[in-house]
Amino acid sequence: MLKIKVLGPGCSNCQKLAYLTQRAITHLSIEAEIEKITDYAEITKYPILSTPGLVIDEQLVCAGRVPSEAEITTWLVNALEQSDQPA
């Protein structure tokens, strides 16, 4: 299962990102858990200069813009492949 974090204080960009990510997950029909991180202290632990940020399995994949659903799908698929390999 993928652990996904959406970083951002709750402005409309972060909401959009969470919504698009949720949709990509539904379309792929994979198991994943989305967590919204709104605390600045927590957000700045990731190498991020502006929100929104997307973290998949503790890897920051995108920051400072809202990516398209196609991009999110690609990242999800990549992360799935990586998490399959060691097992």
Residues at the contact surface with another protein, assessed by CB under 8 A: 8-9, 11-14, 16, 20, 40-41, 43-44, 47-52, 64-66, 68-69
Strand order, beta sheet including 59-63:
32-37, 2-7, 53-56, 59-63
Ramachandran bin of 63, using left for φ above 0, alpha for ψ from -120 to 50, beta for the remaining angles: beta
Q: Smallest gap, in angstroms, from Cβ of residue 27 to another protein?
A: 13
Closest to another protein by CB, 40 or 78: 40
Q: Smallest gap, in angstroms, from Cβ of residue 77 to another protein?
A: 19
